[in-house]
Amino acid sequence: MYGRRPSLASIIMVLAFSAACVSCTKAEGDSQQGVIELAITRPATPQEAVWVQVRAGNLPRGTEIRVSTRKGILLGTVSPFGGPPGQEAITHTIPLPQSVIVNNRVQLRLTVDAPGKPARSPQPGEVESINLVYVPISF
């Protein structure tokens, strides 16, 4: 089993279970700058990585949420596309480099980019939830 890549089904199952394990994640937002701080309940083991799950609300067409480090290094983007038709909110999972975890905390900058408008912090309803999850890794 060692050295094999986990199947998509096992990753999804672990992510769902891990979300429950990290349900105590505390979010403290600095809404003026779009910076949010998340605390993890325990350090990841050598066989795990910490990723962030962002559940985006209803976003206008062409709008995306950039997820960056506090210093502005892009980690990933969240868009309203990719989910089943009729589904209003979509959960995106973004890997985090180990370097963004400092003292069991992660600081992320969320920025909304809409076509023809200046970048801004998310407004209520655009980000429904944001959580840290543990994901198994193999070498």
| Nearest one of 6, 8, 78, 69 to 34, comparing CA atoms | 69
How many Cα atoms within 13 Å fall on the side-chain side of residue 128? 11
| Residue 111 covered by a domain | yes
| Residue 2 covered by a domain | no
The reported pLDDT for the residue numbered 138 is: 85
Q: How confident is the model at residue 76 (pLDDT cuts 50, 70, 90)?
A: very high
3-state secondary structure 12-29: HHHHHHHHHHCCCCCEEE
Q: pTM of the entire structure?
A: 0.73
Contact criterion met (CB below 8 Å) for 50 and 44: yes
* E-assigned strand segments in the chain: 27-30, 35-39, 48-56, 64-69, 74-78, 90-95, 101-102, 105-113, 127-136
The string of pLDDT tens digits covering residues 80-112 is 765 555 666 789 999 999 999 999 999 999 999
The reported pLDDT for the residue numbered 60 is: 84
How many domains are contained in the chain?
Answer: 1
Q: Give the CA distances from residue 133 to residues 33, 85, 114, in Å, rounded to whole numbers and listed in that order.
A: 24, 26, 28
| Residue 3 covered by a domain | no
Domain that holds residue 110: 8-136
CATH no. for residue 38? 2.60.120
